Amino acid sequence: MKLIRYGQAGAEKPGVIIDDIRYDVSSFVADFDERFFTNGGLEKLKQYVDENAGKLPTVSNDERLGSPIARPSKILCVGLNYADHAKETNAPMPSEPILFMKSTTSLTGPNDIVVTPKNSTKTDWEVELGVVIGKKATYVDEAEAEAYIAGYVLIHDVSEREFQLERNGTWDKGKGCDTFAPIGPWLITPDEIGDVNNLKLWLKVNGKTMQNGTTANLIFKVPYLVSYISQFMTLLPGDVISTGTPAGVGLGFNPPIYLKHGDVVELGADNLGEQRQDIVAYEKL
């Protein structure tokens, strides 16, 4: 099953995609949020959709898509989780997952504009596989971790490298800027994702391929990440874990390449759909 949220920003309605057709399910569920996942929403929604096949109202393909998850309590991110990406940034291979957070105010739809922050000169791109938590997770064993996963999403982990690496402190300053977490177009449930350890990911800037990787090269796999993070904090239903990016980011080029006003970024992954964003400088808004 594929879950979507559609409509104007801040007023999205829940929907599903079945056989490439969008359907509205707002008469059954208010939103895809923590309460939805906590109360067994996925199972109830599937039953509702099956029982009402052919009766659900359709949604136009012209409707804007928002993030398929309403604002989660946390957007957790894993840094340097691909060996080739660590190498291109001259960073040592991590012995444990590197964790940071993106602010929930960075969340946006998959095709909304990305705004380079005020005075930014080093805004970068990162295509990533995202994991959505389905039930409360505290001190989870790795062998049981998959039972805590509601589904998977495509994430663009936009990053301002000066803010991240040159302004002291943690990485969060360069990761949580407004519009820096486009998610979607949909959440796909585990039964439809295929082999999560062998998904192709790609990203283009102005039509040129910059990233072309696969989740087969993840250093720390999805079940380990869910278990590991749950040792340090409780993961709530609807929380998102962004699992890292393969090589090909702007920082890794010599000289580095960064996004500028007027650029267009396109990205995608197997079974997770595609995104497209126009890059707009804050000063041009």
Angstrom distances, CA of residue 215 to CA of 13, 220, 223, 258: 31, 10, 13, 24
Rounded CA separation 103/17 (Å): 28
Amino acid identity, residue 218? L
Task: Summarize the confidence of residues 175-201 as an average pLDDT.
Answer: 98
Q: What is the pLDDT of residue 5?
A: 98
Q: Is the Cβ–Cβ distance between 29 and 41 less than 8 Å?
A: yes
Question: What is the set of domains in the chain, with CATH numbers?
Answer: 2-51 (no CATH), 75-284 (3.90.850.10)
Rounded CA separation 105/112 (Å): 14
Q: What is the pLDDT of residue 227?
A: 98
Rounded CA separation 102/269 (Å): 21
pLDDT digits (tens, 9 = 90+) for 229-247: 999 999 999 999 999 999 9
Q: What is the pLDDT of residue 169?
A: 85
pLDDT digits (tens, 9 = 90+) for 107-160: 999 999 999 999 999 999 999 999 999 999 999 999 999 999 999 999 999 999
Peptide bond just before 14 cis, omega within 30 deg: no
E strand or H helix at 240, and its extent?
strand 240-242
Q: Is the Cβ–Cβ distance between 200 and 114 less than 8 Å?
A: no
pLDDT digits (tens, 9 = 90+) for 52-103: 988 999 999 999 999 999 999 999 999 999 988 888 888 888 999 999 999 9
Rounded CA separation 29/158 (Å): 31
**CA-closest candidate to residue 42, choices 32, 54, 55, 57:** 32
* Residue 174 token pair: 């360069």
Rounded CA separation 111/250 (Å): 21
Burial of 140 (0-12, 13-18, 19+ CB in 10 A): buried
Task: Summarize the confidence of residues 188-208 as an average pLDDT.
Answer: 97
CA angle 186, 187, 188 (to 5 degrees): 110
| Chain-centroid distance, C-alpha 196 | 14
Task: Summarize the confidence of residues 184-203 as an average pLDDT.
Answer: 97
- E strands along 89-243, which residues? 98-102, 107-108, 114-116, 123-124, 127-133, 149-156, 159-160, 181-182, 187-188, 200-205, 208-214, 240-242
Who contacts 214 (Cβ-Cβ below 8 Å, separation ≥6)?
Answer: 198, 199, 200, 201, 246
Rounded CA separation 266/202 (Å): 8
Task: Summarize the confidence of residues 171-199 as an average pLDDT.
Answer: 97
**CA-closest candidate to residue 65, choices 128, 22, 104, 27:** 22
Give the position of tokens 């980011």.
249
Task: Summarize the confidence of residues 36-64 as an average pLDDT.
Answer: 96
Amino acid identity, residue 85? H
First to last CA, the chain: 37
Q: What is the pLDDT of residue 9?
A: 97
pLDDT digits (tens, 9 = 90+) for 6-26: 999 999 999 999 999 999 999
Please tell me what DSSP assigns to residue 238: T
E strand or H helix at 49, and its extent?
helix 41-51
Q: What is the pLDDT of residue 85?
A: 86
